[in-house]
């Protein structure tokens, strides 16, 4: 299983960069999801990360196709209601394009449109989606049986829920609050990294 760290749009550029650099060796990917940051701030952040040992191949840019192209980042992640996956793949075939979905039907559509991976959620109760009931992990099993695209679980994931995600054969997990709210992000991220390496 792979581990994706998803930024939470709650930190300054400096603080965020510090956290990302701290965890770069115990995650497979870092999704830059900073909706309130300006383009210039995002460019500054990415340039700083690249200059401090974070590999381009580990970075995913959420939504901002322009930023990904400008900085030569090979992976762009699209929200469910964002740019059409098929259009991005056709125009920029060199890019790895992921997509967020919240149902099996949308996962089917994402695969048909050429998505390279799918982020499915939210799987468990999470403070980032207050009042919205979780979708659970069972739909991932359906996706894994019917689709060929890698499926990553997101939403309210804890060390205790990792076994249930492994049980439905997810290709990985994506974490936001667990990492970016932590006082010591490296320590908790390493625990998750080690947990997902264990066979189910």
**DSSP state letter for 58:** G
Q: Do 88 and 65 touch, CB atoms closer than 8 A?
A: yes
122 is annotated as an active-site residue: yes
C-alpha–C-alpha distance, residues 10 and 181, integer Å: 9
**pLDDT tens digits, 74-107:** 999 999 999 999 999 999 999 999 999 999 999 9
CATH code reported for the domain at 2-197: 3.20.20.70
C-alpha–C-alpha distance, residues 42 and 73, integer Å: 12
Tokens read off for 126: 């999470």
Name residue, tokens 């979905």: 101
Tokens read off for 8: 């939470």
C-alpha–C-alpha distance, residues 59 and 25, integer Å: 12
Phi, psi of 28 (to 5 degrees): -90, -35
Q: What is the pLDDT of residue 200?
A: 45
Q: Do 165 and 119 touch, CB atoms closer than 8 A?
A: no
For 96, the 3-state DSSP assignment is strand
Provide the residue ranges of all domains of the chain, joining segments of one domain with +. Answer: 2-197
Given the residues 94, 102, 122, 198, select the one marked as catalytic: 122
**pLDDT tens digits, 17-76:** 999 999 999 999 999 999 999 999 999 999 999 999 999 999 999 999 999 999 999 999
**pLDDT tens digits, 118-157:** 999 999 988 777 778 899 999 999 999 999 999 999 999 9
**What residues pair up with 187 in beta bridges, in sequence order?**
none
Q: Taking the model in full, what pTM does it have? A: 0.95
Of 196, 190, 132, whose CA–CA distance to 170 is shortest?
A: 196
């Amino acid at each position: 299983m792979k581990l994706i760290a998803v930024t939470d749009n709650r930190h300054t550029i400096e603080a965020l960069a510090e956290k990302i650099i701290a965890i770069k060796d115990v995650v497979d990917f870092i999704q830059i999801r900073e909706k309130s940051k300006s383009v210039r701030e995002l460019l500054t952040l990415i340039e700083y990360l690249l200059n401090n040992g974070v590999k381009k191949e580990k970075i995913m840019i959420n939504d901002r196709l322009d930023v990904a192209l400008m900085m030569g980042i090979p992976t762009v992640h699209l929200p469910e209601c964002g740019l059409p996956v098929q259009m991005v793949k056709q125009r920029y075939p060199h890019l790895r394009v992921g997509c967020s979905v919240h149902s099996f039907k949308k996962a089917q559509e994402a695969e048909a449109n050429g998505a390279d991976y799918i982020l499915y959620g939210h799987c468990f109760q999470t403070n980032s989606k207050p009042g919205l009931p979780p979708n659970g992990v069972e739909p991932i099993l359906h996706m894994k049986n019917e689709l060929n695209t890698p499926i990553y679980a997101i939403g309210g994931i804890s060390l205790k829920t990792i076994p249930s995600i492994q049980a439905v054969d997810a290709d990985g997990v994506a974490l936001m609050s667990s990492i970016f709210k932590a006082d010591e992000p490296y320590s908790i991220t390493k625990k998750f990294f080690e947990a997902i390496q264990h066979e189910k």
